[in-house]
Chain A
């Protein structure tokens, strides 16, 4: 629609009202982040008194000093990196070959295998049987349990399979002539052609790993193994009810509120750093993932 040049006066008003409404929506999306960032940079006294509205009041980095001097913060940060990196690599190791095999027309029982994958998207056994299964497999309280237990996801397989299926067979003919086997065709022909789709799947994995908290909370008891999100929950959600603790933390320099805000800022930063990539690939990804049968 951008190629139109003729506007009536009514159109101009329409465009302006529209921009104002979008601006309002934009600002209400941004405001909570600005508020938290300002809170984290304010003094505990001002934060407690409710004087922080838009910008930091009595600028101080004391809350960040508190957060960064806590060993458990670093332990859980490190753990999140471990779960995110190895979890994503593990997922790709399963998903790429699996999706490729499912995309091949000569695969025997292809409909059945596809249904086996798709069914897990519509029906799952639920929290309790999944938990008991992890326990029976001896995967409680283990790095490996978290990494392997969430490696495969039906949606990601189908997304990649759809992408592989859309690649014309003619691309692989030259490789086939040279006597390439399936692994070589996947590696040399399909993977280079599917970089955007693989990047999308990898980013889906990274975000869900980085943000995942529920199963980590349920499956991990050992504080040395918990990821950042579980630590965050412990500090922000559980301790927020504890008035006595909040008061004990209150000094003129920092308070429970400013420390919470500082932890929130520290854990958002990595997501913001990869956000340009996320935005580029995610919107394509969700549209690619349509289940075709």
Chain B
């Protein structure tokens, strides 16, 4: 560095500093407003990210996060030889994929159906009812599922009994877990998810329908030729986002519904982490599983965001 440039920098410094000081003097209130949120994010969300280093350490409670010795990728080596983890990873993807296959089209259908209802009272009532389960807690939903599928008194077995089928203890049967879990998810969320599509439909220009009527189109034709093509962008964006969130599965519901007898089909990555870490105390190992999950999920979500942004130029979420 020559004497000339350092002189220049030293001359610039006070002006820059002075500018910031002046800005702060005038706008300090804004920073004061932002401060609590920033501190909160640092303490409760960013500090745990620093704590993620235990995934590469032999963590001991007494030595703490920083004091525990590094062991490199050992937890990850063990993780990828752990049958339970691999099973959980497989189950996560399978359940998300089934959830997508059966759960994705239903909100679209519902929105299209709502749009065709002319009686506003009927429409409002129907919407009020189908949105409701979204607001009910997973514990209550699980309670309803457990009660309904109970072998002794549940309504499902009562109905099966009418047809001479013997009582089945559904929640202990691995082959029944996925249908019950996915069906519950659809029952709870399909109605509410239709809101996004209804909003998209509301944005379709009425002139399109008016000119279609003049051309003698019926409602069925208008739905296929106008409504569906008009909301295709929204459908594709939602699909990309759902695929991006494939590792995000509502594990709270799984924790409530699964039991050792159904781990085989029900155990997902987050329930595995919960059992190994929070119930079993293997914090470092479970954190490694969590880190793997979070990194893959992050990559998927960012990719999905980028694609959907390119597709629409305005990402929805």
B152 at the interface (CB under 8 A from A): yes
A83 at the interface (CB under 8 A from B): no
Report the Cα distance A40→B47, complex, angstroms. Answer: 46
Stretch in contact with the other chain, from B7-15, B82-90, B91-99, B286-294: B286-294
A to B contact number (C-beta, < 8 Å): 285
Give the shortest distance, in Å, between B49 (CB) and chain A (any CB). Answer: 5
Kindly list chain B residues whose C-beta atoms are within 8 Å of the C-beta of A102.
34
A290 contacts B317, C-beta separation under 8 Å: yes
B147 contacts A261, C-beta separation under 8 Å: yes
A26 contacts B130, C-beta separation under 8 Å: yes
- Number of B interface residues in the complex (CB < 8 A): 99
A126 contacts B293, C-beta separation under 8 Å: yes
B139 contacts A233, C-beta separation under 8 Å: yes
B23 contacts A108, C-beta separation under 8 Å: yes
Give the shortest distance, in Å, between B52 (CB) and chain A (any CB). Answer: 5
Near B by CB (< 8 A), chain A positions 6-32 give 6-8, 10-11, 14-15, 18-19, 21-23, 25-26, 28-30, 32
A69 at the interface (CB under 8 A from B): no
| Chain A interface size, under 10 / 10 to 19 / 20 to 34 / 35 or more | 35 or more
A240 at the interface (CB under 8 A from B): yes
B40 contacts A207, C-beta separation under 8 Å: no
What is the 8 Å Cβ interface bit string for chain B, positions 293-317, against chain A (1 contact, 0 not)?
1100110011000000000001111
Determine which of A113, A123, A241 lies in contact with B34 in the assembled complex, contact meaning CB atoms within 8 Å.
A113
Report the Cα distance A124→B52, complex, angstroms. Answer: 10
Report the Cα distance A28→B155, complex, angstroms. Answer: 13
A22 contacts B52, C-beta separation under 8 Å: no
Give the shortest distance, in Å, between A146 (CB) and chain B (any CB). Answer: 12
B153 contacts A122, C-beta separation under 8 Å: no
| Interface SS of chain B | helix
- B109 nearest in chain A by CB position: A21
Report the Cα distance A10→B222, complex, angstroms. Answer: 13
Give the shortest distance, in Å, between A282 (CB) and chain B (any CB). Answer: 8
Kindly list chain A residues whose C-beta atoms are within 8 Å of the C-beta of B199.
283, 287
A189 at the interface (CB under 8 A from B): no
Stretch in contact with the other chain, from A92-100, A165-173, A192-200: A92-100
B128 at the interface (CB under 8 A from A): yes
Interface residues of chain A, those whose CB is within 8 Å of chain B, are 1-4, 6-8, 10-11, 14-15, 18-19, 21-23, 25-26, 28-30, 32-33, 35-36, 39, 47-53, 93-95, 97-98, 100-102, 104, 106-108, 113, 116-117, 120, 122-133, 136-137, 148-149, 151-152, 157, 181-183, 186, 207, 210-214, 218, 229, 232-233, 236-237, 240-241, 255, 257, 260-261, 263-264, 267-268, 271, 275, 278-279, 282-283, 286-287, 289-292
What are some 8 contacts across the A-B interface (CB < 8 A)? A18-B116, A101-B37, A128-B287, A129-B287, A152-B37, A233-B139, A237-B146, A278-B135
Q: What are the 10 A-B residue pairs with the smallest beta carbon separation, nearest first?
A: A126-B290, A98-B37, A211-B137, A97-B33, A129-B48, A125-B48, A129-B51, A101-B34, A182-B29, A236-B143
